[in-house]
Amino acid sequence: MADMTVDELAARAGVTVRTLRFYAGKGLLPPPRLRGRTGLYGAEHLARLELIRELQALGLTLAAVEKHLEKIPFDTPPEDLALQRALLSPWAPEGTEELGRDELDQRAGRHLDDEALKKLAALGIVELSTGGVVRVLSPALLGVGAELSAMPLDTLIAAHEAVERHTTELAAELQRVFRDTVVRPYRERGRPPEERRRLLELTGKLKPLMIQSLVTSFQRSVDKAIRATVPRD
């Protein structure tokens, strides 16, 4: 990648020059190379900015981002920063939306009264805002959530808490497995470039595979639980 001025780097990274200078002042970016009095930036600066954006997309505060980047030396190759970004990228890429009540009803395919919205909020699908605006946190679940809103609130809350509890534990365990069996050996072998490419490819394929595996395994487990409650005589 050719050297970039501060304006060119800001444009490539999708941030303002002011934000870029703020990050630099916080020590989140390595200093630029100087050509006369002009600071020049390269691929390592862009990769680091993209990593910062990924960390912020996960909901990390600036202080948490600083603490994470303290562990990453300035001379870390852009390819390694790209790998870290791939490992950190959210598994649910859908964004949130803010909708009026009429538009929300159209998207859900039915009228959602205040009680239905309260149930959707309990499921983590929407957030109730002021002024008749509803923030949809999970657009993909809005339709099925609207159907579930006919169930008792206590049932929905208990089911949601059970799913959150077990999926949180499962996610932590899967992360440990991936770290111990894939990432750690890669680092111990000195981060060879050919393995880096393979690891990036593996990371991209792992997410949809694990999501489908989780859905299939859960369906089988529910079937087993149902069969276990049926009398055998």
- CATH assignment of 6-88? 1.10.1660.10
pLDDT tens digits for range 84-131? 887 776 665 556 788 888 888 888 888 888 888 888 888 888 888 777
Neighbouring CB atoms inside 10 A of 73's CB total 9
pLDDT at site 46: 93
Quick one: tokens of 226? 């149902």
Average pLDDT value for residue range 45-49:
93
Instruction: Decide: helix, strand or coil at residue 39.
Output: strand
pLDDT tens digits for range 88-100? 766 655 567 888 8
Helices then strands, counting H and E runs in the chain, come out as 11, 5
pLDDT tens digits for range 135-169? 887 777 788 888 888 888 888 888 888 888 888 88
| 63: pLDDT strictly greater than 60 | yes
CA nearest to 85, candidates 138, 13, 140: 13
The Cα–Cα gap between 195 and 223 comes to 40
Computed over every residue of the chain, the mean pLDDT equals: 84
Cα 74 versus chain centre, distance: 24
The Cα–Cα gap between 100 and 128 comes to 11
pLDDT tens digits for range 11-40? 998 889 999 999 999 999 999 999 988 999
Positive/negative CA dihedral, 15, 19, 21, 26: negative
Rg of the chain over Cα atoms, rounded to whole angstroms, equals: 23
Residue ranges of domains in the chain: 6-88, 97-151, 155-229
132-151: burial string, b at 16+ Cβ within 10 Å, e else: eebebbbeebbeebbebbee
pLDDT at site 49: 93
| 56: pLDDT strictly greater than 90 | no
